[in-house]
Amino acid sequence: MTKLAPGDPAPDFELADQHGKMVKLADFKGRKLLLYFYPKADTPGCTRQACSVRDAREELAALGLAVMGISPDQPERQKKFDAKYGLTFPLLADTERRTARAYGAWGEKNLYGKKVEGIIRSSFLIDEAGKIIQAWYKVSPEDTVPKAKAALGAQT
């Protein structure tokens, strides 16, 4: 499994968001980006993670940080998730898991004592030039925002 490290170029992607709009990493050139991968929309951990990002959006915007979530879900499921919780940030559908693999966020994991392949909950802080500032693998849902803020030197 590929693991990204600070200074690595962030792998490019083009994926549909919850509204069917195509979104590319290049769309965020010139802005910092918090990109996070989550296993499945509207499940307990993924909901806690997405809502913590939603609740911190003003703070994150004040730090010049855009936010995007990616999961293997279809855009329709992402749209329902967004509507149910008022997330209001892009949720991208990586149905073929190519982007997750490129970021090292897809691989073997232990689920209730069984080894399975799936999304490894991960988040990435990407700079204005598209380089990784920080990568967190196996991040807990509650730590996505605090880790990003700490990496940017913000008070948590």
Q: Pairing relation of β-strands 65-71 and 91-93?
A: parallel
Query: Which of the residues 35, 46, 105, 126 is marked catalytic?
Result: 46
Q: Is 51 a catalytic residue?
A: no
Residues 17 and 92: their CA atoms lie apart, in Å, by 4
| Site of tokens 């509507």 | 83
Determine contact, residues 71/119, Cβ cutoff 8 Å: yes
Judged on CB neighbours under 10 Å (0-12, 13-18, 19+), 111 is: exposed
Directed axis angle between helix 44-55 and helix 144-151, to 10°?
40
Closest-CA residue to 130 (of 21, 4, 7, 5) = 7
Q: Which amino acids are annotated catalytic?
A: 46
